[in-house]
Amino acid sequence: MAADWDRSADAWIDIQGETGDFGRVHVLDAPMLGLVEALAPAQVLDVGCGEGRFCRMLAARGIGTTGIDPAGRLIAQAQALHADGDYRIAAAETMDVEPGAHDMVVCYLSLIDMPDLDAALARIVAAIRPGGDLLIANLTAFNTAAVHQGWDKRLIGEPRFPIDHYLEERPVRVAWRGVDIQNHHRPLKRYMQALLGHGLVLTHFDEPPATGGPDGKRDRYNRVPNFHLMVWNKPVSRLS
């Protein structure tokens, strides 16, 4: 997975540009930042931080951040754009972070990249202080189960968004605009059961609509929204 992202890093950096892609700018950034502001963490660990975009947004708001990603090329870009930032090359499944040192862990569209979800979540949950939160933006499971990874544009009739083998957990190869990586399809229950199994408490769930961007793209997104948001709290009473 890290090798895929290292090979795809330049294309990814180009896609994100100065501001970010459609899904981040017009769907996820505002509700993600709203949740961060409401929960007011002082220290945030961004797992799967990529080129560091969200870490920079948090740092601009006075929040201490640590960004972790397995792709060295992306971490190098993050450090170049944020010289004072704390960025480390590590996979979620094996990252070495101080237990309970973070008020919040963020997984911003990164859980789908983690081959071993259980190992990753064990490290992620351990990094959160009791009373802290896990903020997740993830691709919807019907999106990752799409047979063609997107819309089926038929010659006659309305375009459709086909899904198949929804309950079958599996790796999925995804390629677009020079990026060629392996994601993982998991049904929603897989994430929910794993998070509940760690004793976390779901405090927020949303499937935010697109609120900007080109009319056609926004309207198509809102027919089949790609993302959901979750906040899970780590109870103070939970044994760390």
pLDDT in tens, 12-51: 999 999 899 999 999 999 999 999 999 999 999 999 999 9
Q: How far apart are CA 28 and CA 210, in angstroms?
A: 8
The dihedral of CA 23, 66, 6, 143: what is its sign?
Answer: negative
Residues 131-138, mean pLDDT to the nearest whole number: 98
Q: Kindly report the backbone phi and psi dihedral angles of residue 226, in degrees, each rounded to the nearest multiple of 5, phi listed first.
A: -90, -20
Locate all alpha helices (DSSP H) within 24-64, ordered by sequence: 29-39, 53-59
* Distance spanning both ends of the chain, measured CA to CA: 30
Domain ranges of the chain: 2-141+187-233
Q: With 60 as the cut, is the pLDDT of residue 59 above it?
A: yes
Q: How far apart are CA 110 and CA 147, in angstroms?
A: 21
CATH of domain 2-141+187-233: 3.40.50.150
Q: What is the DSSP string of 171-201?
A: EEEEEETTEEEEEEE--HHHHHHHHHHTT-E
What does the pLDDT read at residue 160? Answer: 83
Q: What is the pLDDT of residues 177-201, one digit of tens each?
A: 999 999 999 999 999 999 999 999 9
Using alpha carbons, select from 195, 217, 225, 174 the residue that is nearest to residue 28: 225
Using alpha carbons, select from 239, 139, 152 the residue that is nearest to residue 187: 139
Confidence at 120, pLDDT banded by 50, 70, 90:
very high
Confidence at 128, pLDDT banded by 50, 70, 90:
very high
Distance of alpha carbon 230 from the chain centroid: 11
Please answer whether residues 140 and 240 qualify as being in contact, where contact means their C-beta atoms are separated by less than 8 angstroms. Answer: no
Q: Kindly report the backbone phi and psi dihedral angles of residue 7, in degrees, each rounded to the nearest multiple of 5, phi listed first.
A: -65, -30
Q: What is the pLDDT of residues 72-116, one digit of tens each?
A: 999 999 999 999 999 999 999 999 999 999 999 999 999 999 999
State pTM to two decimals.
0.95
Using alpha carbons, select from 161, 169, 207, 164 the residue that is nearest to residue 187: 169
Please answer whether residues 178 and 7 qualify as being in contact, where contact means their C-beta atoms are separated by less than 8 angstroms. Answer: no
The helix/strand/coil state of 140 is coil
Residues 138-149, mean pLDDT to the nearest whole number: 88
Q: What is the pLDDT of residues 148-162, one digit of tens each?
A: 777 888 778 888 888
What does the pLDDT read at residue 1? Answer: 64
Q: How far apart are CA 132 and CA 113, in angstroms?
A: 24
